């Protein structure tokens, strides 16, 4: 079956009890035993429940994985992935990762004996040089948040394969519709489902997709031990959102390309960071490994004051954290999503104070551009 068909049908069979085309929300914490030691496959909602099972089957199918587990947020899923490691293990991460991943690793997990190195993963040699005898995981975010730097996933998997290193890829920015890391050799894919998978900015969620049964077993153990699995209502909402993933991503992608080109030609904009522009340093890699450049882009307005004037004059686009919803969202990474990164790290990876991040929605393209243009008049 094709991607859109799978997104609508896998895990979403009609309810066998009633024939309801959409399975009900199993809003219950516990399940009755028919007799001691005999139940219908569920015992307690922390461990699992039908809405979670359904969503996990859909996400595993769309990413081409062996299995998937869904969490209360992207961060809960990413935390579970790092817990696959042991004290003394070393992880190499993309240097421009989401600020929350930077905070989790440098302020929390280091205290449990894990070592982290942040490297420009768009440079294969830089990654090779950063490997240590105890390196156990390569954690890639591509395109990276918010610089849109692109990592060659297949090249990274080759380097990692030489040393038996696990490759995990955060596929939040593109969704499996535009990029499928497992087909490029990745062992693990993570998502903030809060973003494109749900797509409607009305739930948080995370997903971890596995290719190896032994990893799947451990991730499920972590999930049910820590109690970080996604609740029934939220699973239901994300399952509903995923059904339109293909059509949404097509429109996001088309709007993203148009907006990026428009901003690139705008005299008030110093620089646009978007893998779909030929000027992007990894444009060719992006063309090879992505089905489209997507709808995430950043652009530099030169100073925090210029950015503030722009943001304060937007009328249609919303100034908000998060991304991947049907509505266009705009943020200032240095003061919002990446505020937890020390200024010198932000500077090194290119997150300037005038860098604005745009998650292009699926409103009419002309309306998005008109709003950006009127706000740019104030810069």
Ligand X SMILES: Cc1ncc(COP(=O)(O)O)c(C=O)c1O
Contacts of residue 41, defined as CB under 8 A and 6 or more positions apart, other chains included, come to: none
Is 119 in contact with 95 (CB distance < 8 Å)? Answer: yes
d(CA 349, CA 53): 39
Active site residues: 46, 98, 170, 195
**Binding residues for ligand X, per CB under 6 A?**
73-75, 98, 100, 141, 145, 170, 172-173, 192, 194, 204, 206
Nearer Cβ to ligand X, position 96 or 306?
A: 96
Kindly state the smallest distance separating residue 173's Cβ from ligand X, in Å.
6
Kindly state the smallest distance separating residue 193's Cβ from ligand X, in Å.
7
Kindly state the smallest distance separating residue 144's Cβ from ligand X, in Å.
8
Residue 323 backbone dihedrals phi, psi, to 5 degrees: -165, 175
């Amino acid at each position: 079956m094709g991607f859109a068909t799978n997104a609508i049908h896998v895990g979403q069979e009609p309810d066998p009890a009633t024939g309801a085309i959409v399975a009900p929300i199993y809003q219950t914490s516990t399940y009755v035993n028919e007799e001691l030691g005999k139940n219908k496959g569920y015992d307690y909602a922390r461990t699992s429940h039908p809405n979670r099972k359904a969503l996990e089957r859909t996400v595993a199918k769309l990413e081409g994985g062996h299995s998937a587990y869904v969490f209360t947020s992207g961060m809960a899923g990413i935390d579970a992935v790092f817990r696959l490691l042991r004290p003394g293990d070393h992880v190499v991460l993309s240097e421009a990762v989401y600020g929350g991943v930077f905070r989790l690793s440098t302020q929390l997990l280091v205290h449990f004996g894990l070592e982290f190195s942040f490297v420009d993963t768009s440079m294969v040699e830089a990654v090779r040089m950063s490997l240590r005898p105890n390196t156990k995981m390569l954690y890639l975010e591509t395109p990276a948040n918010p610089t849109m730097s692109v990592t060659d996933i297949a090249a990274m998997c080759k380097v990692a394969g030489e040393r038996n290193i696990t490759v995990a890829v955060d596929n939040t920015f593109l969704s499996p519709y535009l990029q499928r890391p497992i087909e490029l050799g990745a062992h693990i894919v993570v998502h903030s489902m809060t973003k494109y998978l749900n797509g409607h900015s009305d739930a948080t969620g995370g997903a971890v997709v596995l290719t190896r049964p032994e990893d799947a077993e451990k991730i499920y153990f972590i999930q049910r031990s820590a109690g970080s699995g996604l609740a029934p209502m939220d699973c239901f909402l994300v399952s509903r959102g995923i059904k339109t993933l293909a059509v949404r991503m097509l429109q996001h992608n088309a709007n993203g390309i148009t907006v990026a080109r428009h901003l690139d030609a705008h005299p008030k904009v110093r620089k646009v960071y978007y893998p779909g522009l030929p000027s992007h340093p990894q444009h060719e890699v992006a063309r090879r490994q992505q089905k489209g450049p997507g709808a995430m882009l950043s652009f530099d307005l030169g100073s925090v004051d210029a950015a503030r004037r722009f943001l304060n004059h937007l009328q249609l686009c919303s100034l908000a954290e998060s991304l991947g919803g049907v509505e266009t969202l705009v943020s200032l990474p240095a003061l919002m999503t990446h505020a937890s990164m020390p200024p010198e790290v932000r500077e090194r990876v290119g997150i300037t104070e005038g860098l604005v991040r745009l998650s292009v929605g699926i409103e009419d393209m002309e309306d998005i551009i008109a709003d950006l243009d009127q706000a740019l008049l104030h810069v």
